Amino acid sequence: MDFSGKTIVIGITGGIAAYKACDLIRELYRLGAERVICILTPSAEAFVTPLTLQALSRQPVYSSELAVDPSGTPIHIVLAQQADALLILPATADCIAKLANGFSDNLVTTTAITFTGKPVLIAPAMNTRMWQHPLTQENVRKLESLPDYTIIYPSHGQLACGETGEGHLADQTTILQHLYRMLHPQAGLYRGVKALVTAGGTFEPIDPVRVISNRSSGKMGLALADELWAMGADVTLVTTMPPSGRLYKVLSVQTANDMREAVLTHAPENRVIFMAAAVSDYAVANASPQKIKREREASPSIELVPNPDILAELGQQKHPEQILIGFAAETENLLKNASDKLQRKNLDAIVANDISRTDIGFAVDENEVTILFADQSQCTLPKAPKAEIAQQLLELLARRLNSPRTASSV
Residue numbers of the site for ligand PMT (CB under 6 A)?
A: 216-220, 256, 275-279, 281, 307, 309-311, 326-329, 341, 353, 355, 361-363
Q: Which CB atom, from 10 or from 352, has the smaller least distance to ligand PMT?
A: 352
Please report how many Cα atoms fall inside a 13 Å half-sphere around the Cα of residue 310, on the Cβ side: 32
User: Strands 272-275 and 194-199, how do they pair?
Assistant: parallel
Peptide bond into 404 cis (omega under 30): yes
Residue 396 CB, shortest distance to ligand PMT, in Å, is 16
- Alpha-carbon distance of 32 to 389, in angstroms, equals 17
The answer to whether 88 and 123 are in contact (CB under 8 A) is yes
Distance from C-alpha of 392 to C-alpha of 328, rounded to nearest angstrom = 18
Nearest distance in Å: CB 378, ligand PMT: 16
- Rounded to an integer, what is the distance from CA 293 to the centroid of its chain? 42
In whole angstroms, how close is the CB of 288 to ligand PMT at the nearest point?
Answer: 23
Least Cβ distance, residue 266 to ligand PMT (angstroms): 14
State phi, psi for 378 to the nearest 5 degrees: -150, 160
Cβ proximity to ligand PMT: between 139 and 216 the closer is 216
Pairwise CA distance, residues 20 & 334, whole Å: 46
Q: Which residues pair with 283 in a beta bridge?
A: 305
Q: How far is the first Cα of the chain from the last one, in angstroms, to the nearest whole number?
A: 24
Contacts of residue 14, defined as CB under 8 A and 6 or more positions apart, other chains included, come to 41, 42, 43, 44, 46, 47, 92, 94
**Toward ligand PMT, which CB reaches closer, 168 or 341?**
341
Is 95 tagged catalytic?
no
User: Nearer to ligand PMT by C-beta: 167 or 218?
Assistant: 218
Residue 126 or 371 with smaller CB distance to ligand PMT: 371
Comparing CB distances to ligand PMT, the nearer of 207 and 309 is: 309
- 25 neighbors 57 (Cβ within 8 angstroms): yes
Q: Minimum Å distance from CB 251 to ligand PMT?
A: 15
Question: By C-alpha distance, which of 11, 20, 74 is closest to 43?
Answer: 11
Residue with Cβ nearer ligand PMT (107 or 310): 310
Q: Measured in whole angstroms, how far is the alpha carbon of residue 148 from the centre of its chain?
A: 20
Catalytic residue among 22, 38, 95, 161: 161
> Which of the 8 DSSP states describes residue 289?
S
At position 300, the amino acid (one-letter code) is P
The whole-angstrom separation of Cα 309 and Cα 156 is 40
Please, what is the minimum distance in Å from the beta carbon of residue 242 to ligand PMT?
13
| Residues that are catalytic | 161
